[in-house]
Structure 1
Amino acid sequence: MNTADLGLPVDVPSTALFTDQYELTMLQAALRAGTAHRRSVFEVFTRRLPEGRRYGVVAGTGRVLDAVENFRFDAGVLGFLRAQKIVDEPTLEWLASYRFSGDIWGYPEGEVYFPGSPVLRVEGTFAECVLLETVALSILNHDSAIAAAASRMHTAAAGRRLIEMGARRTHELAAVASARAAYVGGFDSTSDLAAGFRYAIPTVGTSAHAFTLLHDSERDAFQAQVDSLGRGTTLLVDTYDVAEAVRAAVEIAGPELGAVRIDSGDLLLVAHRVRQQLDALGARNTKIVVTSDLDEYAIASLAAAPVDAYGVGTQLVTGSGHPTCSMVYKLVARAESADPRAPLHAVAKKSLGGKSSVGGRKWAARRLDADGVAEAEVIGADAVPAELADRQLLVELIKGGQIVAREPLDAARERHIAARAGLPLSAMQLSKGEPVLPTEYV
């Protein structure tokens, strides 16, 4: 288990500036007005799923916990804020000792969600909670979008292996987060070594076309790779003529050749031809890996092809057309004074254009039908009905400022597979449709 799963290294820099300036100016004004220490509840939710999507996937929760743990205004950060005159000295003094001391509840990572689902609930004073808005949304919006795309691709792959290969198609830090989210969504491995190091995700990779072009012949390249990596390696066979390459690959590596990779052409047709050729050459156990701008629809179209694994890059790390989940972080309840015993009152944004919110500190549960299949996402702000008491979705993540719910990444991955399996079968359809579960407010 990588140490990152147990807590970030001590030299991880502060996450306090992964925020928008207005978080700090709101803090300054609230401190001056005497309202900053009112007990408050914020919730993260989305008003709608991306167009045509039938469910969402919660991902990034573990990264949010890391970000909260490292949300510290150290000397360098405070010096920057002072030099840029972002906030006044009293606010800087308050920030110098900032440590989140409240509670955070949320859907466990890997769980599915629907419009209105309170995927994260942050409780504490207004001052300490408001500062976490931007970093929490940044992580959850990105990672959940990638995990949702990964989940659809995992469904389309129908048990065949999936390799995340998007590092070169996105920002270098986003690449690590994308690999993590893809693993939660069902991918089996990544090409990105930073993701492997940080999150203990299995890594894979052998060679690109450049390696073949470097050598005087394709046979020389194959021989060099087999000599170095063994007969179980994966040889890239579409640099020149595929049939010639497959013949040379088997001649050099023998029937023990691990796999061949196809990265261009009509993948359905080429995969069939390559499978026939491999079998005829006695390499019946040699796998076929296909890459080349795949998405969930392309993967589904290859269901009849003799393919053993898919490598996916661009479409995965861009959310397959939906790079964000449009999650928001809204104040839903607050006290009328700084007295910690003051009762909470529901508050809500009432805006035109579909941007209103529902007030109150909410719980969420998933109601099942007689066959044990999910039939509704039920959300309320009052007492939980007895019949839903054991179906509640939120779990405690941080209590009194201390993280209480760290878990291995594999736990989130397994949770997602189980959560998705509990949805109606229509959730597995790749065609556009409405959310597979209605959201009911009680």
Structure 2
Amino acid sequence: MNSADLGRRVGVPSTALFTDQYELTMVQAALKAGTAGRRSVFEAFTRRLPEGRRYGVVAGIGRVLDAVENFHFDDEMLAFLRDQNVVDGPTLDYLSDYRFSGDIWGYPEGEVYFPGSPVLRVEGSFAECVLLETVILSILNHDSAIAAAASRMSAAAGGRGLIEMGARRTHELSAVASARAAYIGGFDTTSDLAAGFRYNIPTVGTSAHAFTLLHDSERDAFRAQVDSLGRDTTLLVDTYDVTAAVRTAVEVAGTELGAVRIDSGDLLLVAHRVRQQLDELGATGTKIVVTSDLDEYAIASLAAAPVDAYGVGTQLVTGSGHPTCSMVYKLVARASSGDPADELRPVAKKSMGAKSSKGGRKWAARRLDEDGVAEAEVIGTGPVPAELAGRQLLVELVRDGEVVAREPLEAARERHIAARAGLPMSAMQLSRGEPVLPTEYV
């Protein structure tokens, strides 16, 4: 396994200021009170799935590990905190030596999750754990939302190709993270070269309408593209008249033309007409790619169309209506000291309404029915029942501050395919409904 398989992490800047100020002020107050070193357990979870979603997808774990490794305060950052009077001198001294030295367990990337699932468990002193809250949540909430949208689109596509092409519809850094999450969720390629470079995701791209408009005729544009990129290229055929463009495309490239792309109009109707025309012209192997503001519902509506691949942008990188999965990061257990032998005591927020949480250091397992299909997400704080011992979901990610579970992105992608396949068939329905698995606490 080479470094490219795991993602290029060279030159990654410190993530220490990707946080909220109150994380630092809590550390200051805890240091003064003598409680900063108390052994603590934090968990990241969501109280509910986005409305109508049947399951969530864990994505961003690899990026979380990068963020934890690179969470340290350099001299310039410390000077900023000092100049802005964010924290006092003793706290600056603590931060200057900060390196996470605890343990992290979590659902492996690509796994599915449900309300209450302890997606990530962070253990260490209160101070070192609480500082990681914001950066962990910002990664998990974004990436898991995109992966969930991608998974729904992948299920709707039914094995047809999926191209992530949303870079121009989001922040430039979010675009890279979105492409990574989309690949985990089932997309095959990306148009974003930064994502291809950093994470070794296959990249694709040919031309836009501007290239056709640049030339004196559509034929000239097609000829220039074929001469440069070969007959296997994808020609964009809806700049002017689709029927004329398809005829010209085959005349220029021959029946070996790789694909045509349709980016507007009634995609269902146009795709059928283009397929018929291509076949009549002898280009029976030429594929049809459709784009134009697609989401999982539009993809599902094209199931009967002769479409070979879908290109998705805006709806994917915005989570198809749910740009976050509302994960939270809560203290669930703590000791009275930093002594590893000191007993952990469950703690939990007891406020009224939906914001209460369940205390205790949790394990999670997925119970299967007699046919091997998942039937419940089981979460507990005591001994793991013998029948669930082999079905536990959390894996060790960081031990004593050292990452122990890096893996190729392809492994997360394959894991998601398997996890989704293990859910009840109703998980694939796009109609609104409750989580496909109930969460049981024992």
TM over 0.5: yes
Aligned residue number for residue 306 of structure 1: 306
Amino acid of the structure 1 residue aligned with 2:127: A
Per-residue displacement from partner, 1:401-420 (whole Å, max 9, x unpaired)? 00000000000000000000
Counterparts of 1:69-88 in structure 2, within 5 Å, are 69-88=69-88
Amino acid of the structure 2 residue aligned with 1:23: E
Aligned residue number for residue 365 of structure 1: 365
Partners of 2:5 and 2:299 lie apart in 1 by 31
Please report how far the alpha carbon of residue 10 of structure 1 lies from its aligned counterpart in structure 2 after TM superposition.
4.3
Partners of 1:411 and 1:273 lie apart in 2 by 39
Counterparts of 1:231-270 in structure 2, within 5 Å, are 231-270=231-270
Judged with a 3 Å threshold, the aligned counterparts in structure 2 of structure 1 residues 292 and 318 are, in CA distance, closer, same or farther, namely: same
Aligned residue number for residue 221 of structure 1: 221
Per-residue displacement from partner, 1:154-187 (whole Å, max 9, x unpaired)? 0000000000000000000000000000000000
Partners of 2:264 and 2:79 lie apart in 1 by 53
Aligned residue number for residue 112 of structure 1: 112
Partners of 1:214 and 1:99 lie apart in 2 by 54
* 1:425 and 2:413 are equivalent in the alignment: no
Matched length: 442
Partners of 1:339 and 1:150 lie apart in 2 by 44
Amino acid of the structure 2 residue aligned with 1:50: P
Partners of 1:135 and 1:396 lie apart in 2 by 20
Please report how far the alpha carbon of residue 337 of structure 1 lies from its aligned counterpart in structure 2 after TM superposition.
2.2
Partners of 1:81 and 1:5 lie apart in 2 by 37
Q: Secondary structure at the match of 1:365?
A: strand
Per-residue displacement from partner, 1:214-240 (whole Å, max 9, x unpaired)? 000000000000000000000000000
Aligned residue number for residue 153 of structure 1: 153
Q: CA contact under 8 A between 1:367 and 1:374: conserved in structure 2? A: yes
* 1:388 and 2:388 are equivalent in the alignment: yes
Q: CA contact under 8 A between 2:7 and 2:199: conserved in structure 1? A: no
Partners of 2:431 and 2:126 lie apart in 1 by 42
Counterparts of 1:297-376 in structure 2, within 5 Å, are 297-376=297-376
Please report how far the alpha carbon of residue 353 of structure 1 lies from its aligned counterpart in structure 2 after TM superposition.
2.2
Per-residue displacement from partner, 1:305-348 (whole Å, max 9, x unpaired)? 00000000000000000000000000000001233321100000
Judged with a 3 Å threshold, the aligned counterparts in structure 2 of structure 1 residues 220 and 8 are, in CA distance, closer, same or farther, namely: closer
Partners of 1:146 and 1:7 lie apart in 2 by 19
Per-residue displacement from partner, 1:22-73 (whole Å, max 9, x unpaired)? 0000000000000000000000000000001000000000000000000010
Partners of 1:114 and 1:170 lie apart in 2 by 27
Q: CA contact under 8 A between 1:150 and 1:186: conserved in structure 2? A: yes
Q: Secondary structure at the match of 2:86?
A: coil
Please report how far the alpha carbon of residue 83 of structure 1 lies from its aligned counterpart in structure 2 after TM superposition.
1.2
Partners of 1:377 and 1:301 lie apart in 2 by 32
Aligned residue number for residue 407 of structure 1: 407
Q: CA contact under 8 A between 2:232 and 2:256: conserved in structure 1? A: yes
Judged with a 3 Å threshold, the aligned counterparts in structure 2 of structure 1 residues 194 and 10 are, in CA distance, closer, same or farther, namely: closer
Q: CA contact under 8 A between 2:41 and 2:361: conserved in structure 1? A: yes
Judged with a 3 Å threshold, the aligned counterparts in structure 2 of structure 1 residues 226 and 8 are, in CA distance, closer, same or farther, namely: closer
Please report how far the alpha carbon of residue 9 of structure 1 lies from its aligned counterpart in structure 2 after TM superposition.
3.8
Amino acid of the structure 2 residue aligned with 1:330: K
* 1:280 and 2:280 are equivalent in the alignment: yes
Q: Secondary structure at the match of 1:256?
A: coil
Aligned residue number for residue 436 of structure 2: 436
Aligned residue number for residue 93 of structure 2: 93
Partners of 1:298 and 1:7 lie apart in 2 by 32
Q: Secondary structure at the match of 2:360?
A: coil
Counterparts of 1:199-218 in structure 2, within 5 Å, are 199-218=199-218
Q: CA contact under 8 A between 1:5 and 1:406: conserved in structure 2? A: no
Partners of 1:344 and 1:238 lie apart in 2 by 64
Amino acid of the structure 2 residue aligned with 1:84: Q
Q: CA contact under 8 A between 1:2 and 1:200: conserved in structure 2? A: no
Partners of 2:271 and 2:85 lie apart in 1 by 62
Partners of 1:172 and 1:11 lie apart in 2 by 17
Q: CA contact under 8 A between 2:9 and 2:66: conserved in structure 1? A: no
Partners of 2:51 and 2:6 lie apart in 1 by 36
Percent identity between the aligned chains? Answer: 85
Q: Secondary structure at the match of 1:406?
A: coil
Partners of 2:6 and 2:265 lie apart in 1 by 44
Partners of 2:337 and 2:233 lie apart in 1 by 66
Partners of 1:46 and 1:11 lie apart in 2 by 32
Q: CA contact under 8 A between 2:366 and 2:375: conserved in structure 1? A: yes
Gap runs ≥5 in structure 1: none
Aligned residue number for residue 294 of structure 1: 294
Q: Secondary structure at the match of 1:367?
A: strand
Amino acid of the structure 1 residue aligned with 2:144: S
Q: Secondary structure at the match of 1:419?
A: helix
Q: Secondary structure at the match of 1:255?
A: coil
Gap runs ≥5 in structure 2: none
Counterparts of 1:24-35 in structure 2, within 5 Å, are 24-35=24-35
Q: Secondary structure at the match of 1:25?
A: helix
Please report how far the alpha carbon of residue 79 of structure 1 lies from its aligned counterpart in structure 2 after TM superposition.
1.3
Partners of 1:229 and 1:58 lie apart in 2 by 38
Q: CA contact under 8 A between 2:207 and 2:235: conserved in structure 1? A: yes
Partners of 1:10 and 1:277 lie apart in 2 by 50
Q: CA contact under 8 A between 2:250 and 2:281: conserved in structure 1? A: yes
Q: CA contact under 8 A between 2:162 and 2:187: conserved in structure 1? A: yes
Q: TM-score, normalised by structure 1?
A: 0.99
Please report how far the alpha carbon of residue 11 of structure 1 lies from its aligned counterpart in structure 2 after TM superposition.
2.4
Partners of 1:238 and 1:292 lie apart in 2 by 11
Partners of 2:4 and 2:105 lie apart in 1 by 21
Partners of 1:284 and 1:7 lie apart in 2 by 38
CA RMSD of aligned residues (A): 0.9
Partners of 2:260 and 2:41 lie apart in 1 by 54
Amino acid of the structure 1 residue aligned with 2:121: R
Please report how far the alpha carbon of residue 4 of structure 1 lies from its aligned counterpart in structure 2 after TM superposition.
5.6
Please report how far the alpha carbon of residue 93 of structure 1 lies from its aligned counterpart in structure 2 after TM superposition.
0.6
